[in-house]
Amino acid sequence: MANESNLPEAGKPSGAVVEPVVDPGTAYQPDVDIVENGDSMVLYIDLPGVAAGGTQIEADENNILTLKARNSFREPDGMIVRQAAIGDYFRAFQLGSEYDRGRISATLKDGVLAIHIPKREEAKTRRIEIRT
């Protein structure tokens, strides 16, 4: 799923934005709930340990949504029980063509990333009222 075109272009100044360096090969796959209504869909993704600014979300021309997240939780030494995968996260989603990649918004709160993806105007559910 790694998409080369998502990487910053060589020679292009990246400005003050520090891109999270996440290796999709070793990153963990986070759990997701996807909720859809007639107008949009919301992806709720568990990213325990990821702080504000630690995520990178991209949607390319093929409507592939890619999430990379950098974990800032420092695990102590001396692990005796391991049930949770704490580390960097990577996941990619193929969006349907009815979704508008140009108007995606996202919020990160308490380790949960919510990505809001609206449908294109023409793809939204229309309610037809019945006239009496």
Query: What are the residues whose beta carbons fall under 8 Å from the beta carbon of 69, sequence distance 6 or more?
Result: 20, 22, 30, 47, 50, 54, 55, 56, 88, 89, 90, 113
The helix/strand/coil state of 67 is strand
CB of 54 to another protein, least distance (A): 9
Window 109-128: residues binding another protein (CB under 8 A)? 109-112, 114
Q: Which two tokens stand for residue 11?
A: 């020679």
CB of 70 to another protein, least distance (A): 11
Please give the Cα distance from 118 to 44 (Å, whole number). Answer: 15
Applying the rule CB under 8 A, the residues between 36 and 55 that interact with another protein are: 36-38, 41-42, 44, 46-51
In the complex, least distance from residue 69 CB atom to another protein, rounded to whole angstroms: 11
Piece of 4-12, 55-63, 80-88, 97-105 that binds another protein (CB under 8 A): 80-88
Residue 81 in the binding site for another protein (CB under 8 A) = yes
